[in-house]
Amino acid sequence: MSTMQTGISGYAELGPPPELPEHGLRIMPLGGLGAIGRNMTVFEHKGRLLIVDCGVLFPEADQPGVDLILPDFSTIAARLDVVVAVVLTHGHEDHIGGVPYLLRLKPDLPLVGSRFTLALVEAKLREHRITPYSLEVREGHTEQLGPFGCEFFAVNHSIPDALAVAIRTDAGVVLHTGDFKMDQLPLDGRLTDLGGFARLGADGVDLLLSDSTNAEVPGFVTPEREIGPVLDDVFRQASRRIIVASFASHVHRVQQVLDVSRAHGRRVAFVGRSMVRNMGVARDLGLLRIPDGLIVPLDEASTLPPEQVVFMSTGSQGEPMSALGRMANRDHRHIVIEPGDTVVLASSLVPGNETAVYRVINGLARWGASVIHKDVAKVHVSGHAPAGELLYLLNAVKPSNMMPVHGEWRHLRAHARLAELTGVAKDRIVLVEDGDVVDLIDGRARVTGHVECRNVYVDGLAVGDVGEASLTERRILGDEGFVAVTVVVDEATGKLVAGPFVTGKGFSDEPVFDDAVPIIEAALNRAAAEGTSDPHQLQQVIRRAAGKWVNDTYRRRPMIVPTVLEV
């Protein structure tokens, strides 16, 4: 009986992969499997590497102080000289956000993508003072990148100019869809090229890597153009200012807001650095049509009558430092939420962001705003294909092997079930997670090993300096506070000379450590009597004694910070 292949989750002892045969193709996902974000896949063939996407993942509440999470480049860091190109499927942060950090390692890596995607990347790289080598492609184009023949296909997504890529090698043909959906009435008229996928499938697709985000959602996507009438109704009913929050790359949604604003006699101000930057790029490329006089600077918009202004803002995912997050906390420099304002969250909830988004919604409602989001009105549709459309793609492509990508485990497994329903053999469906290695050899895709693939955290200017141990300490500090114990001991004997002095932060508002002092003192006296004088060993004695007292007395586990001074 055949079984679905699984990677490290099924085989805990996976080791490094074997040497790749000359006629084989290796696929190494370094991000995007098991989580929504940080998408990056490395293809290896004949000693050369092709990278598809290089994105970031945004931190969750249990990762305090972290700004971004990058793919782990360590597996390929020593082999960047054999990378033929970095192909970017589209311009969302979870697909391009890691590019500046990769190019820090080798600035001349060629970037391949559509016009809008490259424009967004180049604007981002200018902030990092990197000038990339870029190769612009579009649907219908083919490029030979080393041993990889790449053909590009139009796909419809929640950003213009998204592409899928078919990779032809001596080992077979791989189709990587990128993120896509099949809106049959797209605002820009650019359909997902299902006919091209069918042609590719007729010739033979050996491995399909396909977007799994909405694999659990039945049916078909709602057309984007159905959002327009809903926004029109919201604007008609609004009596004061309107703030619309969206992804800073969702050009189509911004265009709808601009159109309905003009129809209702309102002026629009862009709020948030990424919104201003991205819409400037879209306007310059002709992807965003802005009537003369519609856009006003933020300073000017703040002086207009409230019934004549719309703020187009970032912050739809509840980011605390975003423009909308600052509005909810009433610390935005220009915009103070007042009763009667209308706030529209024109985006979906990225898994993991729900708590942050609802915190912002509650903050806005607290100040009297009417908040409209996808749970109460159709103000957003997803950019990812639901199950009905994924079945269409599977039936059109008819892949010999299938590997679900871009999704949490529940999405990957749901997509695998869809593939099995369309006739893909169960033992040719490869379920893996980041770091698992899949080899396509003689028409079969198999899990062959695992490479190091940890989360790489960006904390301010530091990249990779913060690890899981540091995050654990931060979580303890945030949840339990810390207790500091300082003692002075004789350098020769280890006997207590002064102290213990016990203080705490984030533990209690009242001094509660008087009862701990004799217990710590007794533990140190016993250690000295046993001949212990090493400061490190004495720190451990203090940590155990203080930790036991806190746990017995308060059932809490703060961080214990012992300091031993020798005289």
Domains in the chain, start-ordered, CATH in brackets?
Answer: 5-10+23-219+382-454 (3.60.15.10), 224-372 (3.40.50.10710), 468-566 (3.10.20.580)
The pTM score is 0.82
pLDDT over 70 (residue 60): no
**Can you tell me the mean pLDDT for 462-471?**
56
Percent of the chain with pLDDT over 90: 58
SS (H, E, C) 5-45: EECCCCCCCCCCCCCCCCCCEEEEEEECECECCCCEEEEEE
What are the φ and ψ backbone dihedral angles of 132, each rounded to 5 degrees?
A: -85, 165
pLDDT over 90 (residue 10): no
Strands 370-372 and 342-345: parallel
**Residue pair 96/124 in contact by the 8 Å Cβ criterion:** yes
Indicate left, alpha or beta for 133 from its phi (over 0: left) and psi (-120 to 50: alpha): beta
Q: What's the pLDDT tens digit per position in 330-365? A: 888 888 999 999 999 887 766 666 777 888 888 899
**Strands of 559-566's sheet, edge to edge?**
496-505, 482-489, 559-566
Query: 87 or 318: which carries more pLDDT confidence?
Result: 87
Nearest to 139 by CA among 151, 148, 121: 151
Q: What's the pLDDT tens digit per position in 492-532? A: 777 887 878 887 776 665 557 778 888 888 888 888 888 77
In this prediction, residue 560 carries a pLDDT of 80
Residue 33 Cα distances to 93, 394, 403, 493, angstroms? 16, 19, 10, 56
